[in-house]
Amino acid sequence: MNKESLEFLTEVKKKPRFTPQTWSQLWKQIVIWLVLLFVFYPIVWVISAAFDPANTIVGQRIIPKNASFINFIRLFDSELQPFTSWLLNTFKVSLTSSFLGVCITALAGYAFSRMRFRGRKTGLFAILLIQMFPQMLALVAIYLIIFWIGHYLPYFGLDTHAGLTLVYLGGAMGVNVWMTKNYFDTIPHSLEESAKIDGATPFQLFVKIILPLTRPILVVVFFLQFMANYSEYVLARVLLATNENLTMAVGLQTFIQDQISQRWGVFSAAALIGAVPVLIMFWVLQNHLVSGLTRGAVK
């Protein structure tokens, strides 16, 4: 770091070419390009492998010979891996659990933000404390609970997506409740007051007034939960068993585990397909997310 890096805080002056400032801009550009090289290194190789018909990591070149879509066809067509099911399962579980998760969080956040009751502070504190413990630490217990539930309600038992969704919903509260509560706090009470006079119940206030106004934070919470569930590996690994029922994280892990060299191309195609929807989602929601993150950060 040198003097010029913070120069923007002083007045900008016109200077001749090749001053120390130009040099400083130059090295900054170089450093940034080095970082970009690091960022894109795995991405470029995966894209290249996905389109390389050789389907092997051995002797892979950065620009594939006879590039084609054959790996994508192999991915969806092969008997070896039910990739379509994995993809659908992942979306089914992550979308359901993040949607229900947002409902749960918004309801709780509303109560914590607008109502005064005994145990409110303790409750908020307890939620923050509990969510520090990742669910996977209690894996054996969770496995047994789902086993018991499945004994009575087979639809929610082991090797079912409903069961996995139940488990994911356990992790829905936590920091998200705080984020929504803090956001709800910024909405002025005056809007609700007038509706209250007209005889609206708190639940109607919540649905008709608060929810539409707080969409940005709900979107952020939804996306964060979606990302977490989409990438979740351990719980899905332990609770799901049948190959057709797996999520992408578990399926791809077992697919690539010991056969990196023979399945590299097909795996890369799967990796691209798995990453692109989330990337697009991130792109669309980027402004929301970044402001949500930094706001939460600096608070």
Partner 1 sequence: MRTQTRLKRLEKFLAGGSLNISLLSKLIILGISNAMALWALTVLLAEGHHLIFTILVIGVLLIDYIFLSERAYPLRFIFPGLFFLLLMVVFPIGFTIYVSFTNYGTGHILPKEMVIKQYTDRLMLDEDFPTYKAQIFKNPAGEFAFLLTAPTGEQLVAVDQTATPLAEAGIKPEDSDGDGKVDRLGDYKQESILNIFSFLAQLENLTFTYADRMLKLRTPETFGCYIPRYQYDPSQDALIDLQTHTTYFAKDGNFTSATGESLDIGYQTIVGWRNFQKLFTDKRYSAPFIQVFVWTFAFAFLSVLETLGLGLFLAVLLNDPKLKLRRLYRVLMVIPYAIPAFITCLVWRGLFNTEVGIINNSIFLPLFGKALPWLQDPFWAKVAILIVNLWLGFPYMMLICSGALQSIPGELYEAAMVDGANGWYRFRRITLPLLLSQLMPLLISSFAFNFNNFNVIYLVTRGRPAIPGSITPTGATDILISYTYRMAFEGGSGGDYGLASAVSLIIFMIISIITWINFKSTRALEEVPQYE
Residue 177 CA, chain-centre distance (Å), reads 17
130 binds partner 1 (CB under 8 A): yes
254 binds partner 1 (CB under 8 A): no
* Binding region for partner 1 (CB under 8 A) out of 69-77, 81-89, 168-176, 207-215: 168-176
- Look-up: residue for tokens 């697919």? 255
One of 12, 13, 17, 18 touching partner 1 (CB under 8 A): 12
Please say which residue, 3 or 212, places its beta carbon nearer to partner 1.
3
What is the closest distance, in whole angstroms, from the C-beta atom of residue 254 to partner 1 in the complex? Answer: 11
CB count in 10 Å sphere of residue 269: 26
Cα torsion angle, 48, 54, 55, 56, sign: negative
What is the closest distance, in whole angstroms, from the C-beta atom of residue 197 to partner 1 in the complex? Answer: 15
121 binds partner 1 (CB under 8 A): yes
d(CA 228, CA 210): 26
Q: What's the token pair of residue 98?
A: 């993040």
253 binds partner 1 (CB under 8 A): yes
284 binds partner 1 (CB under 8 A): no
210 binds partner 1 (CB under 8 A): no
Q: What's the token pair of residue 263?
A: 């399945």
CB of 292 within 8 A of CB of 179? Answer: yes
One of 51, 83, 110, 183 touching partner 1 (CB under 8 A): 110
The full length of the chain comes to 299
d(CA 205, CA 203): 5
- Look-up: residue for tokens 């229900």? 100
Question: Rule CB under 8 A: which of 169-208 touch partner 1?
Answer: 169-173, 177, 185, 201-203, 206
123 binds partner 1 (CB under 8 A): yes
What is the closest distance, in whole angstroms, from the C-beta atom of residue 152 to partner 1 in the complex? Answer: 8
249 binds partner 1 (CB under 8 A): yes
What is the closest distance, in whole angstroms, from the C-beta atom of residue 215 to partner 1 in the complex? Answer: 19
* Binding region for partner 1 (CB under 8 A) out of 70-78, 81-89, 115-123, 214-222: 115-123
Question: Rule CB under 8 A: which of 53-92 touch partner 1?
Answer: 56-60, 62
37 binds partner 1 (CB under 8 A): no
Question: Helix or strand or coil: residue 175?
Answer: helix
156 binds partner 1 (CB under 8 A): no
d(CA 256, CA 251): 9
d(CA 78, CA 181): 48
* Binding region for partner 1 (CB under 8 A) out of 26-34, 71-79, 154-162, 211-219: 26-34
DSSP conformation class of 207? I
d(CA 81, CA 78): 6
One of 23, 69, 99, 125 touching partner 1 (CB under 8 A): 125
d(CA 235, CA 167): 8
43 binds partner 1 (CB under 8 A): yes
Cα distances from 6 to residues 1, 24, 168, in angstroms, run 9, 11, 45
What is the closest distance, in whole angstroms, from the C-beta atom of residue 149 to partner 1 in the complex? Answer: 9
One of 67, 148, 194, 242 touching partner 1 (CB under 8 A): 148
Phi, psi (degrees; rounded to nearest 5) at 23 = -60, -40
